[in-house]
Amino acid sequence: MTMASRACGFDFGTSNSAIGHAAGSDPKLIPLQDGRVSIPTAVFFSFEDASVTFGREAVSRYLQRENGRLMRSLKSVLGSSLIQELTQVGSNRLRFDQIIALFLSYVRDAADGPSSVVMGRPVHFVDGDEQADKNAEDQLRHAAQLAGFDHIEFQFEPIAAALDYERHVRAEELAFVVDIGGGTSDFSIVRVSPERRGKPNRKSDILAYSGVHIGGTDFDRRLELNAVLPDLGLGAKLRHKDMETPSWWYQDLATWQRINFLYDPKVFTDIRQVRRDMLEPEKLDRLLEVLENRKGHALLTAVEDVKIQLSTTNKVTMDLQDLAGIDPIDVTRKQFERAVADQIGQIDATIKTTLDQSHLTRGRYRLRVSHRRLIAHPAAAHDVAQDLRQGPHHRGRCVRLRRHGSRA
């Protein structure tokens, strides 16, 4: 059987993506670039030679200051009004679903062009809006069809992680799956065992699942808004009473998929007009420096690196002189935790919802959950604090739920 005739599994992630197929009884991830099985979910449109590149090469060409447009976090536009908007890329205007299709097609071709695919999806593409969530899945299906897939199915990402974990268990367990991605945080409680492995219908083994549209890129946004962008004018006062700089400039600058909208001469003109009324005009000079030189993605990448470092240290010094003309900034873990506290609270609430759905907290199981550690009493579970902070770097953690009083 050729690869093209096999079904494949496709993890189209907010930050990174991968594709694999079943090699005998075991799944196998397929190398995509430089022998690596995952690549950044990124597309770069070169304005110099009109080429389109993907993954690590896309990010590399952008960071080398090649003239062009980098697009990341493409998954985040699914279910939003942006998906059907036309956006300028060089001499062409493309819809976002067409750009997503270009990326999916690149990964499909790297896997020798399979015709059938099972695509992972978050529990909720969009929180609290069933129609928008359905639209998001339909939009991803359409993009996959444009990419050349003929048969398309979807599987919830935390369920897929539980089924992968099941391949290694030796006895029946209840697995609590924690899937912290770049754009969403998903959870499931699934009964797994060697005997159940391979059964076509596992619906009765899925005890609970839930998710929230918060992930690593949301933490990037909060950290940049809190620690960096005030030096570029966020919240700065104008000479007119009770007026500040427009906040949407900074919200877009801290959001991967919206940065490119700021690279617009009309935006530059608006900023210069506001600058004339600034009490601290030098802050908008820094903002213009970032935008006119298309440094927005590089700035957010630097913030992402600090976020990751704060997983293992209490303070990081950011040197942003070259990027934004800012003196070195000390960013502390406590500052970061304050910036994302309400988002962590929403993740906590989603974990509680998952546990409540399963009814395992009543009688047979005693569980305690915090944003720093998932604890199944009396045995300690996997520490997911780093997952919560880093987002796209740790996916699909499984925690065994113990019966109260068990010594196992």
Residue 155 lies in a domain: no
Q: What is the CATH classification number for the domain harbouring 180?
A: 3.30.420
Total structural domains in the chain? 3
Residues 269 and 353 in one domain: no
Looking only at the bridges linking them, the beta strands covering 185-192 and 173-180 are: antiparallel
Residue 407 lies in a domain: no
Residues 207 and 234 in one domain: no
Domain range enclosing 375? 161-214+341-400
**Are 188 and 156 contacting, i.e. CB atoms less than 8 angstroms apart?**
yes
Residues 311 and 167 in one domain: no
- The rounded distance, in Å, linking the Cα atoms of 278 and 378 is 58
Residues 96 and 196 in one domain: no
Residues 101 and 42 in one domain: yes
Residues 25 and 78 in one domain: yes
Residues 29 and 166 in one domain: no
> Angle at CA 216, nearest 5°, toward 210 and 220?
140
The first and second tokens of residue 151, run together, are: 């048969």
Residues 363 and 257 in one domain: no
- The rounded distance, in Å, linking the Cα atoms of 371 and 393 is 17
What is the CB neighbour count within 10 angstroms for residue 253? 25
- The rounded distance, in Å, linking the Cα atoms of 234 and 70 is 24
Residues 22 and 139 in one domain: yes
Residues 26 and 102 in one domain: yes
Residue 203 lies in a domain: yes
- The rounded distance, in Å, linking the Cα atoms of 58 and 46 is 9
**Are 300 and 256 contacting, i.e. CB atoms less than 8 angstroms apart?**
yes
Residue 349 lies in a domain: yes
- Tell me which of 293, 315, 339 is where a domain ends: 339
Q: Is 15 helix (H, G, I), strand (E, B) or coil?
A: coil
Residues 144 and 9 in one domain: yes
- Tell me which of 307, 323, 339 is where a domain ends: 339
Q: What is the CATH classification number for the domain harbouring 94?
A: 3.30.420.40
What backbone phi and psi angles, to 5 degrees, belong to 277?
Answer: -105, 10
- The torsion defined by the Cα of 205, 208, 213 and 218, in degrees rounded to 10, comes to -90
Residue 406 lies in a domain: no
Residues 320 and 350 in one domain: no
Residue 408 lies in a domain: no
Is 402 exposed, middle or buried (CB count within 10 Å of its CB: 0-12, 13-18, 19+)?
A: buried
- Residues in a beta bridge with 186: 179, 211
Whole-structure pTM value: 0.78
Q: Is 158 helix (H, G, I), strand (E, B) or coil?
A: helix
pLDDT tens for the chain, residues 1 to 408 = 454 457 899 999 999 999 998 766 678 899 999 999 999 999 999 999 999 999 999 999 988 888 889 999 899 899 988 888 888 887 888 999 999 999 999 999 999 999 999 999 988 888 888 899 999 999 999 999 999 999 999 988 888 888 888 888 899 988 888 888 888 898 889 889 999 887 877 878 889 889 999 999 999 999 999 999 999 999 999 987 789 999 999 999 999 889 988 999 999 999 999 999 999 999 999 999 999 998 999 999 999 999 999 989 999 999 999 999 999 999 999 999 999 999 999 999 998 899 888 887 544 444 444 333 332 222 333 333 333 333 333 344 555 554 433 332
Residue 294 lies in a domain: yes
Residue 86 lies in a domain: yes
